[in-house]
């Protein structure tokens, strides 16, 4: 039996056939539907999804469940589901045979409404779906005067080398349609490293993005209704020495946090720290081993990438984020004209105004992990679920008035 792809871990994937199939299939369909794009730009895709679900329900393929098995739902979806239950909304999860796919319906204004994962998807237009194209997003941000990690979409190593020749090193290479830092390489300091990084990215997808590497801390800003801003920091997996315990013991202690779930558990945000050869490699770069006893207060990093699945920390910063940074997040939400957007920002300190010369937006997401703000490892939790529902109801009421 083949091993899992090391560049996709902790996601367990043996091959990337599905990624390539989806890439070429979507490209083919987009070509066929190009004349329809303008016409359908303001058509809500949730209406088509709802109609399809109702059709399957008549065939007995789909059932609606008021009290689903939450262990089968991801925590991003559970934020909206639990907030709806809390306010007494009639809401049901959609079950296909015996499987949940984070589809839901709720009853409001005398009718059923359908959404995927997060209630704001009921308000989606094509603008929201186009946020998945990293190259298009970067150009939109740059045109809007937003500081961005400058990059370009590429298909060949020649394209990547041309970018490096013009912009220099260090660089980052990532799949154009990837997520969760899968097959992402950084920082790249040479042409040999660039060649290998392109090979890794193209294992995942035919197209990839090359961009300038920005140094700083990674923050996630989530904007709801172009009005409310929530902020948290994603910090690489680490432990802090106490002057007594070995690194192995510090990891074991941190993993006893009841909020940290095993890898693969959908209904949790914080994860236990996985300990394998990747940890040994990172420790060696710091002249440590698992048996090292770090000094009191010394921070020891355990993984290269800042990923939820690798046990990274989430630090709530909504109350302390500088107004200039919140204004930047709001400006981006207005630029994309969307009621929900997740924005990854690199800067030195979220409590100080961002520096346009040394800060930048990495990417945006139309279906962000809103649970990052609900279950931080450090700092206060944000009630983003309630704000999301308030926004959805306000928009639905506006639409109802317009239709009268």
> Could you give the 3-state DSSP secondary structure of residue 207?
coil
- pLDDT value, residue 14: 79
Is 211:172 a contact under the CB 8 Å cutoff?
yes
The torsion angles phi and psi of 272, rounded to 5 degrees, stand at -65, 150
User: Given strand 171-175, what is the order of strands in its sheet?
Assistant: 151-154, 208-212, 171-175, 185-188
In the chain, the largest separation of any two C-alpha atoms, in whole Å, equals: 70
Ordered mean pLDDT values, 10 residues apiece, the chain (404 residues): 68 74 63 51 64 88 94 93 97 92 93 94 71 78 90 91 93 80 87 94 90 92 97 96 97 96 85 92 95 97 88 96 98 95 96 93 91 94 97 89 53
Place of tokens 């914080």: 270
Backbone angles phi, psi at 119, to 5 degrees: -55, -30
Among 98, 99, 9, 113, which Cα is nearest to 54's?
113
- The residues that bridge with 345 in the sheet, in sequence order, are 219, 361
Q: Are 316 and 297 in contact (CB under 8 A)?
A: no
* Phi and psi at residue 219, to the nearest 5°: -120, 145
Q: H or E stretch including 336?
A: helix 323-336
Q: Where are the beta strands (DSSP E) in 66-118?
A: 91-96, 99-108, 111-116
What's residue 129's pLDDT?
A: 60
- What pairing do the DSSP bridges indicate for beta strands 228-235 and 313-316? antiparallel
DSSP state of 118: S
Q: Put residue 226 in one of left, alpha, beta given phi > 0 → left and psi -120 to 50 → alpha.
A: left
Q: Which residues contact 30 (CB under 8 A, 6 or more apart)?
A: 37
CA distances, 306 to each of 151, 188, 217, 364 (Å): 21, 17, 10, 17
Q: Where are the beta strands (DSSP E) in 109-207?
A: 111-116, 151-154, 171-175, 185-188
3-state helix, strand, coil in the chain (%, to 5): 40, 20, 40
Buried b (16+ CB within 10 A) or exposed e, 44-67: bbbeebbeebeeeeeeeebebeee
Asked whether the beta carbons of 225 and 391 are under 8 A apart, the reply is: yes
- Give Cα separations from 312 to 136, 279, 301, 302 (angstroms): 29, 13, 10, 9
What is the pLDDT at residue 40? 47
Q: Supply 344's token pair.
A: 């990854």
User: What one-character-per-residue DSSP string does 346-401 give?
Assistant: EES-TTS---TTT-EEEEEESS--THHHHS-SBS----HHHHHHHHHHHHHHHHHH
Q: Which residues pair with 116 in a beta bridge?
A: 103
The per-residue pLDDT for range 29-71, each reduced to its tens digit, is 556 555 544 444 555 666 677 888 898 889 999 999 999 999 8
The total of other beta-carbon atoms located within 10 Å of residue 20's CB is 15
């Amino acid at each position: 039996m083949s091993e899992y792809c090391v560049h996709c871990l902790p996601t367990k994937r043996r091959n990337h056939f599905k990624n390539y199939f989806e890439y070429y299939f979507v490209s083919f369909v987009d070509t066929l539907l190009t004349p329809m794009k303008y016409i359908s730009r303001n058509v809500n895709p949730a209406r088509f999804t709802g109609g399809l679900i109702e059709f399957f329900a008549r065939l007995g393929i789909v059932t609606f469940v008021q009290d689903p098995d939450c262990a089968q739902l991801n925590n991003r979806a559970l934020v909206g589901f639990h907030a709806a239950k809390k306010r007494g909304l009639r809401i049901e999860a959609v079950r296909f045979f015996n499987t949940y796919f984070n589809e839901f319906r709720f009853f409001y204004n005398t009718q059923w409404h359908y959404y995927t994962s997060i209630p704001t998807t009921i308000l989606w237009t094509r603008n929201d779906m186009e946020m998945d194209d990293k190259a298009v997003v970067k150009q939109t941000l740059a045109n809007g005067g937003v500081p961005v990690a400058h990059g370009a979409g590429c298909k060949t190593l020649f394209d990547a080398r041309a970018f490096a020749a013009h912009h220099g090193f260090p660089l980052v290479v990532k799949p154009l349609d990837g997520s969760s830092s899968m097959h992402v390489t950084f920082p790249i300091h040479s042409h040999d490293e660039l060649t290998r990084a392109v090979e890794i990215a193209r294992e995942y997808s035919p197209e990839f993005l090359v961009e300038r590497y920005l140094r700083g801390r990674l923050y996630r800003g989530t904007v709801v209704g172009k009005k409310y801003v929530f902020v948290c920091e994603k910090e690489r997996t680490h432990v802090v020495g106490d002057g007594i315990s070995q690194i192995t013991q510090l990891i074991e202690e941190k993993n006893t946090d009841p909020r940290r779930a095993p890898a693969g558990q959908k209904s949790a945000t914080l994860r236990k720290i996985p300990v394998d050869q990747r940890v040994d490699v990172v420790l060696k770069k710091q002249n440590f081993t698992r048996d090292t006893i770090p000094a009191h207060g010394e921070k020891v990093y355990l993984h290269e990438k800042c990923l939820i699945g690798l046990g990274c920390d989430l630090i709530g910063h909504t109350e302390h984020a500088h107004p200039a940074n919140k204004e930047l997040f709001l400006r981006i939400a207005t630029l994309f004209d969307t009621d929900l957007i997740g924005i990854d920002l690199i800067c030195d300190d979220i409590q100080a105004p961002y520096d346009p010369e040394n800060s930048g937006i990495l990417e945006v997401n139309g279906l962000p992990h809103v649970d990052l703000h609900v279950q931080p490892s450090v700092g206060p939790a944000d009630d983003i679920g309630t704000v999301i529902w308030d926004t959805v109801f306000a928009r639905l009421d506006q639409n109802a008035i317009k239709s009268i």
